[in-house]
C-alpha cells in the first residue's frame, strides 16, 4: 500500500496521495497549488500514474492544484455535484466508487461544512476533509453550510463507521495527524456528549473571522483551480483571468459568501423600476436595455470581478456575454437571479414601489395581444389572427435565441423607470 500524508503549512491543509502498489495507479486528495512541485516530484519519483484528483469540497482558504495536476499528468478531476462547481471532469454523488488499479474509494456525501462536502472511504481509513477534524469540525457559516446537516453527516454517517477506522482530516491547526472514529466519538469537543441542539448552538456562535484568502480561493476553486504556472514567468498562479479558466456562474448562496468579504461589483441589470422595489445591498443598477460596456470599462478595471444579476438569470447571462465580448475578463452571472437569492432566504432591501417583474409583464402583454388577435380575427376581420400568430412566433424566437424584444420595449415604459 502506498500512502502519503502531506502538509501545506500556510493553510494547514493535508493532502493525501495513495496508490496501488502493483499497477502504480494513484489518486490525490485535496492538493494545494503552492505544493504543486512537491506533489509532482513525489508522483514522478515513485513512478505513479495519477488517475484522479479528488476534492473533498470547494475550499475557501487555499487554491486547489486540481487543474494544474490535470494539465501536468492527464488525471481526471472530481468534486461533488452539490458544489455547483465548473471545470471539473467528474461530478460526484454519494455512493459513487472511484476505481484505480485494484483499489476503490467510496464517496460519502457529508454536507454541512459546505453543501457539497464529501468524505472518501478507502480501506481502513476515511479522508474527512473539513467535515470531521481531529477534536473539531469544519465551520458552517458560509458556502451553504448548515450545522443541522453537519450533525447528521457526522453522527448518522461517519460515526456509523467502525470505531477502528482511521480519520485523516483536511486540516489540523495544532499539528495532529490522525485519529480514529472511536476517539472522535469519545473526545471530539464539538460532538462528544453533546445533543444535536447543543451542537447547533455551538456552531452558530463560533464567530470565526472569514478565511483570509476566501475572496480569491472560492471563485478560483469553483472554476477548477489554478492553471499550471508559466515556466518562464514568476511562479504566479493564473487564476480566473483567462478565457476558459474563469468562473462563469455562481449560485445565489455562493454570491452571498463572496460578497460578504467585499471587493466584487454586483451589477443588477433589471429595470430601474424592478430595482427600486427590491434590491440586494451593495448592488449597482445597470439596466440591461441601456447596458453600455464601453462606459463600464471606463468605470471598472477590465479584470475587476463583475457579477451580473437579474430576476431569473436570463438577462444577466446576456449581459455577462456582452461584457466579456467587450473585454471584461472576470464576469460571472448569478444563477436564478433575485428569485434564487430570495428562495435561499437571503436578505433584500424592499422599496415602496410595487412594479411587477418584467418577465410577468411580458407574459401578460403577450397573452393579452394573443387573445385580442383571436377576438379581432373572429369578430372584425380574419387578418386579426395574424396578430396572435405573430406573438406566438415572437415567443418561439425569444425562446430559441434567448432574447426578448418585447421585454426591451416594456423596459422603456415609464412605470419601469425608477421615478415616474
Please give the helix or strand (H or E) that residue 61 lies within, else none.
none
Count residues binding ligand GSH (CB under 6 A): 13
> Which residues, 166 to 185, sit near ligand GSH by CB under 6 A?
171
> Which residues, 24 to 63, sit near ligand GSH by CB under 6 A?
60-61
- Is residue 228 a contact partner of residue 245, using CB atoms and an 8 Å limit? no
Which residue of 31, 136, 169, 273 would you call a contact of ligand GSH, by CB under 6 A? 136
- 216 forms part of the interface with Fe ion (CB under 5 A): no
Rounded to whole angstroms, what are the CA distances from 169 to 27, 47, 53, 241? 16, 26, 17, 31
CB of 60 to ligand GSH, least distance (A): 5
Closest CA to 283 of 267, 269, 299, 298: 267
**CA–CA distance, 299 with 218 (Å, rounded to integer):** 25
Please choose, out of 95-103, 120-128, 130-138, 235-243, the segment that lies near Fe ion by the rule CB under 5 A. Answer: 130-138
Query: Which of Fe ion, ligand GSH, none binds 211 (CB below 5-8 Å, type-dependent)?
Result: ligand GSH
CB of 218 to Fe ion, least distance (A): 10
Q: Which residue is nearest to Fe ion (CB)?
A: 130
Decide: residue 66, CB within 10 A, 0-12 exposed, 13-18 middle, 19+ buried: buried
CB of 400 to Fe ion, least distance (A): 42
Please choose, out of 66-74, 123-131, 243-251, 353-361, the segment that lies near Fe ion by the rule CB under 5 A. Answer: 123-131
- Is residue 34 a contact partner of residue 220, using CB atoms and an 8 Å limit? no
Decide: residue 9, CB within 10 A, 0-12 exposed, 13-18 middle, 19+ buried: exposed
Query: Which of ligand GSH, Fe ion, none binds 136 (CB below 5-8 Å, type-dependent)?
Result: ligand GSH
> Which residues, 162 to 181, sit near Fe ion by CB under 5 A?
none
Which residue of 44, 176, 212, 381 would you call a contact of ligand GSH, by CB under 6 A? 212
Measured from the CB atom, the residue of 39 and 130 that comes closer to Fe ion is 130
144-158 in b/e burial notation, b at 16+ Cβ within 10 A? bbbbebbbebbeebb
- C-alpha cell recorded at residue 262: 467585499
Query: Beta strands 166-169 and 76-80: pairing type?
Result: unpaired
- Is residue 112 a contact partner of residue 46, using CB atoms and an 8 Å limit? no
Measured from the CB atom, the residue of 174 and 196 that comes closer to ligand GSH is 174
Which residue of 25, 34, 39, 130 would you call a contact of Fe ion, by CB under 5 A? 130
CB of 347 to ligand GSH, least distance (A): 23
**CA–CA distance, 281 with 289 (Å, rounded to integer):** 22
- 208 forms part of the interface with ligand GSH (CB under 6 A): yes
CB of 144 to Fe ion, least distance (A): 12
Q: Enumerate binding residues for ligand GSH (CB under 6 A).
A: 11, 60-61, 113, 130, 136, 138-139, 171, 208, 211-213
Amino acid at each position: 500500500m502506498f500512502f502519503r500524508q502531506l502538509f501545506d503549512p500556510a493553510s494547514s491543509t493535508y493532502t493525501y496521495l495513495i496508490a496501488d502498489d502493483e499497477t502504480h495507479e494513484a489518486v490525490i486528495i485535496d492538493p494545494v497549488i503552492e505544493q504543486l512541485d512537491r506533489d509532482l516530484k513525489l508522483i514522478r519519483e515513485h513512478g505513479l500514474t495519477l488517475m484522479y484528483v479528488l476534492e473533498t469540497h470547494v475550499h475557501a482558504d487555499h487554491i486547489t492544484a486540481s487543474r494544474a495536476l490535470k494539465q501536468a499528468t492527464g488525471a481526471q478531476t472530481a468534486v461533488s455535484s452539490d458544489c455547483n462547481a465548473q471545470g471539473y471532469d467528474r461530478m460526484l454523488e454519494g455512493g459513487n466508487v472511484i476505481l484505480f488499479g485494484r483499489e476503490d474509494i467510496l464517496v460519502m456525501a457529508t454536507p454541512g461544512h459546505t453543501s457539497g462536502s464529501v468524505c472518501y472511504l478507502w480501506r481502513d481509513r476515511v479522508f474527512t476533509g473539513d467535515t470531521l477534524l481531529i477534536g473539531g469540525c469544519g465551520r458552517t457559516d458560509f458556502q451553504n453550510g448548515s450545522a443541522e446537516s453537519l450533525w447528521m453527516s457526522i453522527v448518522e454517517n461517519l460515526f456509523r463507521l467502525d470505531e477502528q477506522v482511521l480519520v485523516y482530516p483536511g486540516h489540523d491547526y495544532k499539528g495532529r495527524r490522525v485519529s480514529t472514529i472511536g476517539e472522535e466519538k469519545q473526545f471530539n469537543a464539538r460532538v462528544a456528549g453533546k445533543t444535536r441542539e447543543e451542537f447547533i448552538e455551538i456552531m452558530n456562535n463560533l464567530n470565526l473571522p472569514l478565511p483570509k484568502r476566501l475572496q480569491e480561493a472560492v471563485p478560483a476553486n469553483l472554476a477548477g483551480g489554478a492553471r499550471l504556472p508559466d515556466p518562464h514567468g514568476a511562479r504566479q498562479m493564473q487564476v480566473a483571468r483567462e478565457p476558459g479558466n474563469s468562473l462563469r456562474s455562481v449560485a445565489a448562496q455562493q454570491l452571498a459568501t463572496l460578497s460578504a468579504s467585499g471587493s466584487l461589483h454586483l451589477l443588477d441589470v433589471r429595470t430601474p423600476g424592478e430595482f427600486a422595489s427590491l434590491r440586494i445591498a451593495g448592488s449597482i443598477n445597470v439596466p440591461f436595455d441601456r447596458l453600455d460596456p464601453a462606459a463600464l470599462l471606463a468605470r471598472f478595471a477590465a479584470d475587476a470581478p463583475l457579477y451580473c444579476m437579474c430576476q431569473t438569470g436570463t438577462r444577466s447571462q446576456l449581459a455577462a456575454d456582452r461584457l466579456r465580448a467587450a473585454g471584461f475578463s472576470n464576469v460571472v452571472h448569478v444563477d436564478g437571479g433575485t428569485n434564487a437569492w430570495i428562495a435561499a432566504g437571503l436578505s433584500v432591501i424592499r422599496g415602496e414601489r410595487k412594479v411587477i417583474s418584467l418577465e410577468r409583464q411580458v407574459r401578460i402583454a403577450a397573452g393579452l395581444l394573443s387573445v385580442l388577435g383571436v377576438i379581432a380575427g373572429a369578430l372584425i376581420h380574419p387578418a386579426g389572427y395574424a396578430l396572435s400568430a405573430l406573438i406566438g412566433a415572437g415567443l418561439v424566437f425569444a425562446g430559441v435565441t434567448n432574447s426578448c424584444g418585447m421585454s426591451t420595449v416594456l423596459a422603456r415604459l415609464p412605470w419601469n423607470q425608477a421615478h415616474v
